[in-house]
């Protein structure tokens, strides 16, 4: 039977953007109805308890020190964070050889290090010329948007194959897609939105500095608890019809009549919702182009973080391998030990084609080569192929191919009648991250509150 509801605002999607919008509106005394397709809240953030109850994050997990919006929410809601484990040596695997190092820079040739530093400095310098609210208005926007990240990398001047592979993998990890299909303007915008390219790559002082006690999903769970019955799970929205004084949002099993709607789904998924009146051609073109790439995040769980006792941090890199990057993702309590292992873009696609057993064997072999024999015997091995997730389809955010931001960028946040847009892809500061999602939801809520 169809449940019919009325609310001031209907929020579509209960990821961090949708939940943050709903919370702000709720706190301002508006009635909200949140419709979520999945049977859980959190979207691209997905905390799962292991059999002993320890939380592990299958999706978004890390917060940077400057992520004030999500830290603010966590504080208000009473959720704590802790520092990612960084003590010990990191490992770079170069043609089967282990190269241990400390700090940010692997032990590669001084020339390679210098050319990477120069490429990064150039990126940072150009990114400062990108207006954070409107990258498409940068003086050199057309030039930067006509070029792909892959083309920029070819000419970045980085010397030695190992340095090039490492840098390419790090940049590919930001977008996860094919770098031929990613605009250089998007890379500059991303760098601007996070302060510097080093911030995006770093643990200490950077994007991977903090984790959330109880898992990154615990904040979403608490917000959902505050919103109570206003959150409807298993309610994929199929249709959004705007009339002169209201908007009707129809999902499986429930329909909501509201004064305004916030759509917070990933851009490509908005195309699967039927809009009446229909979305404009240019918005459709934007959403068709704004796809997210393949990425696999695998959580390999051990009784203890045994690598710490061996003087290793758990951080490792082997570009192009079945485990391109690893990080220590052990819960706050210090056990069980958790290694998060990633593959990005075309490498994730290639590794994804192996059968499950083969992939697991190959990943454990790679981890054993880095961290020793105990790595071969995990207690859990949890893979998440985000591009196969029906309600996400790609990771960790949509990337914009050349030409898209300058043509269609202004539409990202442009209000469409009674419909407002949220989601990390619409954010400026912390674009693409959990913090960006929170800010986008708060911005969409403010737009609606401003309408009175």
Ligand X SMILES: Cc1cc2nc3c(=O)[nH]c(=O)nc-3n(C[C@H](O)[C@H](O)[C@H](O)COP(=O)(O)OP(=O)(O)OC[C@H]3O[C@@H](n4cnc5c(N)ncnc54)[C@H](O)[C@@H]3O)c2cc1C
**Contacts to ligand X by CB under 6 A:** 12-18, 35-38, 43-45, 59-62, 236-237, 264-266, 269, 273, 295, 297, 386, 391-392, 395-397, 423-424, 432-435, 437
Q: Specify the residue, 92 or 235, whose C-beta has the smaller distance to ligand X.
A: 235
Residues 114-148 as b or e (16 or more Cβ within 10 Å = b): ebbeebbeebbebbeebeeebbbebeebeebbebb
Query: How many Cα atoms are found within 13 Å in the side-chain-facing hemisphere of 132?
Result: 14
Cα–Cα distance for residue pair 236/127, rounded to 1 Å: 38
In sequence order, which ranges of 83-183 are alpha helices (DSSP H)?
110-127, 141-145, 149-154, 161-175
Q: Specify the residue, 135 or 236, whose C-beta has the smaller distance to ligand X.
A: 236
Q: Specify the residue, 183 or 208, whose C-beta has the smaller distance to ligand X.
A: 208
Q: Specify the residue, 18 or 215, whose C-beta has the smaller distance to ligand X.
A: 18
Cα–Cα distance for residue pair 255/243, rounded to 1 Å: 15
Say if residue 357 is exposed, middle or buried (CB neighbours under 10 Å; 0-12, 13-18, 19+). exposed
Orientation of helix 161-175 relative to helix 345-352, angle to 10°: 80
CB 191 within 8 A of CB 127: yes
The least distance separating ligand X from the CB of residue 382, rounded to whole angstroms, comes to 12
The least distance separating ligand X from the CB of residue 98, rounded to whole angstroms, comes to 26
Q: Specify the residue, 156 or 314, whose C-beta has the smaller distance to ligand X.
A: 314
Q: Specify the residue, 18 or 214, whose C-beta has the smaller distance to ligand X.
A: 18
The least distance separating ligand X from the CB of residue 438, rounded to whole angstroms, comes to 8
The least distance separating ligand X from the CB of residue 159, rounded to whole angstroms, comes to 30
Phi and psi for 167 in degrees, rounded to 5?
Answer: -70, -40
The least distance separating ligand X from the CB of residue 235, rounded to whole angstroms, comes to 6
How many C-beta neighbours within 10 Å does residue 442 have? 21
Helix then strand count (H, E) for the chain reads 16, 21
CA 428 to chain centre: 14
The least distance separating ligand X from the CB of residue 137, rounded to whole angstroms, comes to 24
Q: Specify the residue, 39 or 95, whose C-beta has the smaller distance to ligand X.
A: 39
The least distance separating ligand X from the CB of residue 328, rounded to whole angstroms, comes to 13
The least distance separating ligand X from the CB of residue 430, rounded to whole angstroms, comes to 7
Cα–Cα distance for residue pair 269/66, rounded to 1 Å: 29
The least distance separating ligand X from the CB of residue 92, rounded to whole angstroms, comes to 21
Cα–Cα distance for residue pair 217/44, rounded to 1 Å: 9
The least distance separating ligand X from the CB of residue 323, rounded to whole angstroms, comes to 14
Cα–Cα distance for residue pair 427/445, rounded to 1 Å: 13
Helix (H) or strand (E) holding 359: helix 356-371
Q: Specify the residue, 181 or 435, whose C-beta has the smaller distance to ligand X.
A: 435
Q: Specify the residue, 112 or 193, whose C-beta has the smaller distance to ligand X.
A: 193
- β-partners of residue 49 are 55
Q: Specify the residue, 138 or 219, whose C-beta has the smaller distance to ligand X.
A: 219
- 239's CB contacts (< 8 A; 6+ apart) are 248, 249, 250, 273, 274, 275, 276
Q: Specify the residue, 289 or 329, whose C-beta has the smaller distance to ligand X.
A: 329
Cα–Cα distance for residue pair 322/354, rounded to 1 Å: 10
- Residue among 114, 89, 111, 87 nearest 101 (CA): 89
The least distance separating ligand X from the CB of residue 418, rounded to whole angstroms, comes to 17
């Amino acid at each position: 039977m169809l449940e019919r509801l009325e609310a001031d605002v209907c929020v579509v999607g209960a990821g961090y953007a949708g939940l943050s919008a709903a919370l702000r509106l709720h706190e301002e005394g508006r009635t909200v109805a949140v419709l979520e397709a999945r049977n859980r809240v959190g979207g691209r953030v997905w905390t799962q308890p292991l059999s002993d109850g320890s939380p592990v994050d299958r999706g978004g997990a890390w917060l940077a020190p400057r992520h004030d919006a999500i830290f603010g929410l966590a504080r208000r809601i009473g959720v704590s964070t802790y520092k990612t484990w960084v003590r010990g040596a990191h490992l770079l695997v170069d043609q089967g050889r282990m190269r241990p190092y400390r700090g940010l820079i692997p032990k590669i040739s001084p020339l390679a290090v210098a050319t990477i530093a120069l490429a990064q400095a150039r990126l940072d310098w150009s990114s400062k010329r990108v207006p954070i609210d409107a990258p498409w208005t940068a003086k050199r926007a057309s030039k930067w948007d006509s070029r792909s990240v892959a083309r920029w990398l070819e000419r970045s001047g980085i010397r030695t194959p190992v340095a090039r592979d490492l840098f390419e993998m790090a940049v590919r990890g930001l977008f996860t897609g094919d770098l031929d299909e990613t605009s250089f303007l998007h890379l500059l915008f991303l760098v601007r939105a996070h302060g510097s390219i080093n911030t995006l790559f770093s643990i200490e002082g950077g994007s991977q500095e903090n984790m959330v006690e109880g898992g990154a999903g615990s904040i979403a769970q608490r917000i959902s608890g505050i919103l109570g019955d206003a959150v409807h799970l298993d309610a994929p929205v199929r249709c959004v019809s705007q009339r002169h004084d209201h908007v009707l949002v129809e999902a499986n099993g429930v329909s909501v009549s509201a004064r305004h709607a916030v759509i917070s789904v990933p851009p490509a998924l908005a195309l699967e919702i039927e809009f009446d009146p229909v979305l404009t051609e240019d918005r459709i073109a934007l959403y068709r182009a704004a796809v997210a790439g393949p990425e696999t995040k695998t959580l390999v769980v051990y009784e203890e973080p045994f690598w710490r006792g061996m003087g290793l941090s758990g951080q490792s890199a082997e570009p192009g391998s079945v485990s391109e990057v690893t990080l220590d993702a052990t819960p706050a309590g210090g056990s069980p030990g958790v290694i998060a292992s990633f593959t990005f873009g075309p490498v994730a696609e290639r590794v994804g084609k192996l059968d499950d057993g083969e992939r697991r064997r190959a990943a454990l072999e790679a981890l054993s080569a880095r961290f020793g024999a105990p790595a071969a015997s995990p207690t859990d091995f949890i893979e998440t192929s985000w591009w196969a997730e029906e309600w996400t389809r790609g990771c960790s955010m949509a990337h914009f191919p050349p030409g898209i931001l300058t043509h269609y960028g202004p539409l990202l946040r442009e209000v469409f009648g009674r419909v407002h847009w949220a989601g990390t892809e619409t954010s400026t500061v912390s674009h693409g991250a959990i913090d960006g999602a929170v800010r986008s939801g708060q911005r969409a809520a403010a737009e609606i509150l401003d309408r009175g």
